[in-house]
Structure 1
Amino acid sequence: MSPEDYCYNFAAPPGSDFRYSLLGLPLKRRQALLALKAFCLETAQIVSECQDAGVARVKLDWWQAEVGRLFAGEPQHPVTRALRGPLADFNLPEEYFREILDGITMDLDYDAYPNFSGLMVYLHRRGSVPALLAAEILGYQDRRATPRFAHEAGIALILFDFLYDARRHAQCGRLYWPEEEMERYGIKASDLLAPQTTERLRQLFAFQAERIRHHYAQSLTHLPTMDRYTQYHLLIRLDLAKALLEEIAEDGYRLLEQRTSLPPLRKLWLAWRLRRREKLHRRRLPVVA
């Protein structure tokens, strides 16, 4: 199996949102995004799969060394071997990959955060940095506004993951909602392990959903018209998350009893419609001499 096939099978399984967000992308960009996603997944699962924190730190140290080998042109892992080409094609900075690893290390150092400000470093490393790398792969013209879009988009996407997988994260002993917000709604971490969504939990979930909507809206305000089509991969991921969020809200945020999902055909339709819309908008843009 080639490194590219490894990343495709690992990062974009059938029915995944990520798979639909690759619709119509040129091969080089698609393979680069798959390798980036595989890097994020491969390294993130270290913490969830290693019961021993010491073993997890040893593995993360290996990945820190592997990033060094990658940028020296001597990667060993299939994921980093798949990343070797994109580094040259898209000028991806080494410090971004190290920041992602630093974010994963935070999962070993912290199991809760006192307030939202304290969580922001983690959100930047695990949410914004991968989105910034994706934006570089996709390409853009506005060097100020579009990175701001990617920053906010990454936060929206990882906050959605926190909400959608709240019970799984709690089972792993990690709490990604600020303690002050949990206290405000009278929620303990153990409440997230019960297969029942109480009214207080529903209020907490609704509060988190509003924060996701806020960052979703903020991301769009930063994205300039000239870069909308090139960034449609991130826009599709945002739209699929937003559509699922509204389904969850309509269902009363019953995240602990069931796993709500969008049908594959609806995902395909949403992805195709968004790409087509942005393509038509690009054609209407004035030609710059």
Structure 2
Amino acid sequence: MSRTVEETAQTSAPVLAAYRYCEAITGHQARNFAYGIRLLPVAKRQAMSALYAFSRRVDDIGDGSLEPEAKRVRLEDTRALLGRIKDGEIEEDDTDPVAVALADAARRFPLPLVGLDELIDGVLMDVRGETYRTWDELKLYCRCVAGAIGRLSLGVFGTVPGAPDAARAPEYADTLGLALQLTNILRDVREDAANGRTYLPSEDLAKFGCSAGFDAPVPPPGADFAGLVHFEAARARALFAEGFRLLPMLDRRSGACVAAMAGIYHRLLTRIADDPEAVLRGRVSLPGREKAFVAVRGLSGLDARAAGRRIAGRR
């Protein structure tokens, strides 16, 4: 249950300062994410910012310039900090504002903090340079780095009393995370390739003649790159359709937040599918005005209602 206005007013100055620090990180570094969480009431927005700031710290270690062993040590140190948060050992006068904010959020909301352990596990997979032969293998990675964040976010959002099928809400939140991550993978194919990373399943790459094409940002001659993108986009669309079943289970503002964040990525996926080669030319993105439009639709309930109609139509 989120805190009341009175409880928020009684939050101590150090904790409020810690939340402001996390909100500054979120606003500066998480453009797509920030569009959604702006729609939340204060307590939920603060908790989501704390989750983002901790997650960003983990991601930055994985994406940084340290040697793999140094990254592993830093990630395990971060896991140890997470353990202290779980054990209630972080006080409001701690010098780490992200830890202070996350510890407070965990006291206020039923956060499954084990999801952040999963995130660290996923980033360690990146550090080891793991590749994926099948979608099932890639799905495990996506569950760690994105599905877990969906389940953590649900701990902040909660579900409305009496929502049908609410027991499946964590599953739908997880699936929506997979949809967002697969969209990210398609968007970042060129950038990842330049950094020596390949996320798409090797059996999918081989199916479309791209198995040797991702040592560099250009597929080999004769490869059906557009076919590959369309194949993966269809998979992502199916994940979005399943994950959108979560929306009717959320209160209006939480649903608006999810509809905005997921809606931005869904539109991005459509843009990629319409012009697959665009991801080879640079990072595909949506203009700010289009993101704002998606956020407004989410707040008005249009996207949530549309998702509900699609769900009802499949029953």
Shorter chain as denominator, the TM-score bin is 0.7 to 0.9
Q: 1:136 to 1:197 in 2, by over 3 A?
A: farther
Kindly state the Cα deviation for residue 120 of structure 1 after the two structures are TM-superposed.
2.2
Aligned positions of 1:96-175 closer than 5 A: 96-141=115-160, 142=163, 143-175=166-198
Tell me whether 1:194 sits opposite 2:217 in the alignment.
yes
Aligned to 1:274: 298
Q: 1:46 to 1:14 in 2, by over 3 A?
A: closer
Aligned to 2:313: none
Aligned to 1:73: 89
Q: Decide which of 88, 110, 114 is 1:95's aligned counterpart.
A: 114
Contact preservation (8 Å) 1:196, 1:257: no
Instruction: Provide the rounded CA distance (Å) in 2 between the counterparts of 1:191 and 1:280.
Output: 38
Kindly state the Cα deviation for residue 14 of structure 1 after the two structures are TM-superposed.
7.6
Q: Scaled by the length of structure 1, what TM-score is found?
A: 0.87
Contact preservation (8 Å) 1:90, 1:136: yes
104-113 or 187-196: bigger deviation: 187-196
Contact preservation (8 Å) 1:145, 1:224: no
Q: 1:261 to 1:146 in 2, by over 3 A?
A: same
Aligned to 1:177: 200
For structure 1, which runs of at least 5 residues remain unmatched after alignment?
282-289
Kindly state the Cα deviation for residue 261 of structure 1 after the two structures are TM-superposed.
2.0
In the alignment of these two chains, the number of paired residues is: 280
Aligned to 1:211: 235
Contact preservation (8 Å) 1:23, 1:272: no
Instruction: Provide the rounded CA distance (Å) in 1 between the counterparts of 2:216 and 2:35.
Output: 31
Kindly state the Cα deviation for residue 269 of structure 1 after the two structures are TM-superposed.
1.4
Aligned positions of 1:7-22 closer than 5 A: 7-13=22-28, 16-22=31-37
For structure 2, which runs of at least 5 residues remain unmatched after alignment?
1-13, 306-315
Contact preservation (8 Å) 1:29, 1:138: yes
Aligned to 1:25: 40
Kindly state the Cα deviation for residue 190 of structure 1 after the two structures are TM-superposed.
4.5
Tell me how large the CA RMSD over aligned residues is.
Answer: 2.5
Contact preservation (8 Å) 2:36, 2:260: yes
Aligned to 1:49: 64
Contact preservation (8 Å) 1:164, 1:255: yes
Tell me whether 1:3 sits opposite 2:26 in the alignment.
no
Q: Tell me the secondary structure at the aligned position of residue 205 of structure 2.
A: helix
Instruction: Provide the rounded CA distance (Å) in 2 between the counterparts of 1:264 and 1:56.
Output: 34
2:52 partner letter: K
Contact preservation (8 Å) 1:128, 1:153: yes
Contact preservation (8 Å) 1:163, 1:205: yes
